[in-house]
Amino acid sequence: MTERPWMKHYPADVPKEITDFGFSHLPDLLKASADEYSKQLAFTQVMPNGMNGSLTYKRVHEQSDSFARYLRDELGLKSGDRVAVQMPNCLAYPVVAFGILKAGLVLVNTNPLYTASEMIHQFRDSGAKALVVIDMFADRLPEVLGKTNVEHVVTVKVAEYFPGVVAGVIRMVQKVWSRTLPKVTVSHTKFKQAIKLGSNHATEVVEYQKELSSDSIAALQYTGGTTGVSKGAMLTHGNLVANTIQMIAMNGTYITPGKETVLTALPLYHIFAFTVNLLGFYHSGARNILVPSPRPPSNLKRAFENYKITWLSGVNTLFNALLNERWFQESPPKHLVGSAAGGMSLHDSVATKWKDLTGTPIVEGFGLTETSPVLSFNPMGGLSKLGSIGIPVPSTDIRCVDEDGKEVPVGQPGELVARGPQIMKGYWQNDEETANSIRDGWFYTGDIAEMDEDGYFKIVDRKKDMILVSGFNVYPNEIEELIASMDGISEVGVIGYPDEKSGEKVQAFVVSSVREPSKDEIIAYCREHLAAYKIPSKITMVDELPKSPIGKILRRELRDGMTSESKGA
């Protein structure tokens, strides 16, 4: 790779380039951890009231082997078949996901909150033959299954692998109190039964992996649901192995193998938590604290109280929510080393407040589903720039280019394009989109970014979200961050709306917390800090903003006019 400006900013303990990622596919990587950390706890699932269950590395290894055997020998699935998984963070998740990968099958992560039509699209498009689903959401299956190729359904309980009495109590509460257990009317196999059936077979799981190479597809990770029809990004074993190693390498000696406890509050079906928390920290021998739902944020209280959390991954919304929790303010985690932010831009005010309260940094990174996901990070052990997505992880090249694909000068905005071993193989059965987004080996992210002279990148905005006011480019992020920094504002989303005179005008959707600044106050504040054409001409007070599963504000839905003004305002 040619010398790039960020190279001099890699700390001493971070390699500039990784020539050998050490594993040819994910089952290899998983086995290495299971051998090395066999007796240690790999996963602990914590319910909001503190009830919990745990699995050791050895148990995860054995159970996922059994699940792999079930899929191959019991169900008769063939190498490369797709298996959809639809569940929140729970102990069964790693067993199921690792089982699928070990069986040489393709994992199709699916959001459990999807509606029937979203499920149908994703299952049909991927051609999934089997579905592993949490029983709480199985009531949509009768409507869905007939329209897909799904032949086998395995149902999972949320308290799988919990101690018997505790699992019983949770089940009773679900049944009697919260009434979240619908009757499963379609033919299905219970997870425990599936494991039992699998354990009756004696095939060595390596047999299933004979056809696997680093170029084999490991996962179809769907994306783009927020901008149009969702597409399956083909992430290969090589992509995910590389990105796991790149991400861990970027943190140098700040992640101590076998010693960390990471809190996984983001959903594992999302690529960020999947690679960073599940694969990355499993590879590092960490104990992964799984929280099924971080909503409301008080659900995380017991996890923070009962475990010595050393790492946390999150998105701006989650960090901000924790900072607003009284219990978190009163006893911030004492053992925390660092936190990783991604998924959406981290507001400077949140990063600063976090540092003040916990004494530890949030390092911001950047990536997309198509890039497995990590492209860049601020190095823990080196220069970390506020408001920047950092520098490319080792063996990754990033440039900002103009409309013709030519690199723009330092400090100029351009579309961020990237090259590296983590870039997806393409979109599943969608050559047109693949050709659109991967050109000459570079992946076009659709994000506008700038690089400074140190080689640090800063995301300006999504290309699609840019607002054109009388010929001037307005980036919603800039206005959002400004309004969010006002006292009493909890969230804000900015979009453009058509205007006869200026082409487009700026509109802000604002959720305010305790003290409500008036619309006039917000305008006045913007006037102080922004050029005239950037000042919102419309401000709408709302109760809530539409968000993606990990908490990204969905500007498209704002544009579609699906958010109505709050009655209080």
Partner 1 sequence: MNNLMILANETANEATVVNEFEQTLLRILVVIIMFGLGAGLTPKDFGSALKRPWGLVIGWFTQFFIMPLTVYLLIVSVLIPFSSGEGILFVALGALIMGSVPAGTTSNLFTYFSKGNLALSLTMTVNSTLWAFIMTPAALFIYSNLLGLDESLSVPFSELALVIVGLIIPVGLGMLLRKFSANVGAVIELIGSVVGLLFIPFLIIIWVPRNWQLLLTTEWPTYVVAIGMGLFGITVAYYFTKLIKVHPMNARTIALETGINNGPLAIAVIVAVYIDNPGLDQILLVPALYSLFIVLISALVTLVFRRANLAAEQKIPNLL
When asked if residue 117 is in the footprint of partner 1 (CB under 8 A), the reply is: no
Residues with Cβ within 8 Å of residue 545, at least 6 apart in sequence = 491, 492, 493, 509, 511, 553, 554, 558, 563
For 502, the token pair is: 């200026």
Using CB atoms within 10 A of its CB, is residue 569 exposed (0-12), middle (13-18) or buried (19+)?
A: middle
Nearer to partner 1, 111 or 360 (CB): 111
When asked if residue 288 is in the footprint of partner 1 (CB under 8 A), the reply is: no
Three-state SS for 518? coil
Selected binder of partner 1 within 79, 293, 429, 473 (CB under 8 A): 293
Selected binder of partner 1 within 543, 560, 562, 565 (CB under 8 A): 543
Least distance from partner 1 to the Cβ atom of residue 48, Å: 9
Pick the closest to residue 465 from 563, 558, 567, 372 (CA basis): 558
For 234, the token pair is: 């083909």
When asked if residue 297 is in the footprint of partner 1 (CB under 8 A), the reply is: yes
Listed ranges 61-69, 140-148, 261-269, 447-455: which one lies at the site for partner 1 (CB under 8 A):
261-269
| Interface characters, 4-43, with partner 1 (x: CB under 8 A) | ----------------------------------------
Residues with Cβ within 8 Å of residue 278, at least 6 apart in sequence = 93, 94, 97, 264, 268, 288
When asked if residue 560 is in the footprint of partner 1 (CB under 8 A), the reply is: no
The interface with partner 1 within residues 316-345 (CB under 8 A) comprises: 317-318, 320-321, 324-326, 330-331
Nearer to partner 1, 210 or 515 (CB): 515
Selected binder of partner 1 within 17, 544, 560, 565 (CB under 8 A): 544
| Interface characters, 70-89, with partner 1 (x: CB under 8 A) | ------------------x-
When asked if residue 165 is in the footprint of partner 1 (CB under 8 A), the reply is: yes
When asked if residue 547 is in the footprint of partner 1 (CB under 8 A), the reply is: yes
| Interface characters, 457-496, with partner 1 (x: CB under 8 A) | ---------------------------------xx-----
Listed ranges 93-101, 370-378, 524-532, 542-550: which one lies at the site for partner 1 (CB under 8 A):
542-550
The count of residues interacting with partner 1 (CB under 8 A) is 49
- Taking the alpha carbons of 33, 366, 363, 410 in that order, is the dihedral positive or negative? positive
Alpha carbon of 29 to those of 241, 278, 281, 395: distances in Å? Answer: 7, 12, 12, 19
Q: Which residues pair with 41 in a beta bridge?
A: 56
Taking the C-alpha atoms of residue 300 and residue 305, their distance in angstroms, rounded to an integer, is 9
When asked if residue 515 is in the footprint of partner 1 (CB under 8 A), the reply is: no
Taking the C-alpha atoms of residue 364 and residue 379, their distance in angstroms, rounded to an integer, is 9
When asked if residue 248 is in the footprint of partner 1 (CB under 8 A), the reply is: no
Three-state SS for 99? helix
Selected binder of partner 1 within 143, 305, 348, 356 (CB under 8 A): 305
Nearer to partner 1, 163 or 182 (CB): 163
Query: Radius of gyration of the chain from Cα atoms?
Result: 23
H or E, element range at 312: strand 311-314
Using CB atoms within 10 A of its CB, is residue 334 exposed (0-12), middle (13-18) or buried (19+)?
A: exposed
Selected binder of partner 1 within 225, 285, 294, 342 (CB under 8 A): 294
Q: Which residues pair with 363 in a beta bridge?
A: 340
SS3 annotation, 129-166: CEEEEEHHHHHHHHHHHCCCCCCEEEEECCCCCCCHHH
Residues that bind partner 1 (CB under 8 A): 46-47, 49-52, 88, 111-113, 162-163, 165-166, 169, 173, 265-267, 293-297, 302, 305-306, 317-318, 320-321, 324-326, 330-331, 490-491, 511, 513-514, 543-547, 549-551
